[in-house]
Chains A and B, each alone.
Chain A
Amino acid sequence: RKEVEQDPGPFNVPEGATVAFNCTYSNSASQSFFWYRQDCRKEPKLLMSVYSSGNEDGRFTAQLNRASQYISLLIRDSKLSDSATYLCVVNLPTGTASKLTFGTGTRLQVTL
């Protein structure tokens, strides 16, 4: 079983739609959780950290369910500029190191 699993997509949605991405992780000792965004042939960029209480940043809402080992990202009112790959990321501390484990990413294509 992969450490972090995501639906690879692609998700093709019209502008203005709401889209949700889901992710599961296998190691219950994981401590920190993130969503990164990666544009084609570019580096991943931190979109937001994910907390058990849920957090929102404008049109983006992230949720964490530790009991189910499940992370979600909701994008409301999709824009063309949201087209990218969204990477679910889990931090599993190994000693004093912080090892980020990435899912394979979910590709989003927003169309007119």
Chain B
Amino acid sequence: ETGVTQSPTHLIKTRGQQVTLRCSSQSGHNTVSWYQQALGQGPQFIFQYYREEENGRGNFPPRFSGLQFPNYSSELNVNALELDDSALYLCASSLPSESFEQYFGPGTRLTVT
């Protein structure tokens, strides 16, 4: 196990609602990245947090936002949910080292109806 935890494991929401997903990083890892994985696709980078600041963002609209806390845990917030937001949301933690190896949590499966 990587030591990265995510909650909840599954979630069902309706269109237009808002959702918050949570992630606790591996001990000592100060960088957290969020990814969205649609069925049959590879994970897509949403954004990364380092020392409580957004440190890079993928091609996702502003209704996807996040936070990182002093203990390096993180939240992903999605407003105005759309059907296409249904996916597996993965959190990965890492150290800002040259190797950039990232370790993933088990994910939160979000279904938007």
Q: Chain A residues in contact with chain B, CB under 8 A?
A: 4, 31-32, 34, 41-46, 49, 87, 91, 93-105
Q: Which residues of A contact B40 (CB under 8 A)?
A: 104
Tally the A-B contacts, defined by beta carbons under 8 Å: 71
- A interface: dominant SS: strand
The answer for the CA separation of A96 and B94 in the assembled complex, in Å, is 13
* A43/B104 in contact, CB under 8 A: yes
Task: Assess A97 versus B43: contact at CB under 8 Å? Given A32-B100, A44-B90, A46-B103.
Answer: no
Closest 8 CB pairs of A and B: A97-B56, A102-B42, A98-B100, A43-B104, A97-B55, A91-B100, A97-B48, A32-B100
Rounded to whole Å, the gap between the CB of A85 and the closest CB of chain B is: 9
The answer for the CA separation of A93 and B97 in the assembled complex, in Å, is 11
Out of B41, B45, B101, B107, name the residue touching A43 (CB < 8 Å): B107
Q: How large is the interface on B (under 10, 10 to 19, 20 to 34, 35 or more residues)?
A: 20 to 34
* A100/B45 in contact, CB under 8 A: yes
Rounded to whole Å, the gap between the CB of A38 and the closest CB of chain B is: 9
Out of A34, A45, A99, name the residue touching B56 (CB < 8 Å): A99
* B56/A100 in contact, CB under 8 A: no
Q: List 20 A-B contacts (CB under 8 A).
A: A4-B42, A32-B98, A32-B100, A42-B107, A44-B90, A45-B2, A46-B103, A87-B43, A91-B100, A93-B100, A94-B56, A95-B56, A96-B56, A97-B48, A97-B50, A98-B56, A99-B45, A102-B43, A104-B41, A105-B42
The answer for the CA separation of A78 and B107 in the assembled complex, in Å, is 28
The answer for the CA separation of A93 and B45 in the assembled complex, in Å, is 12
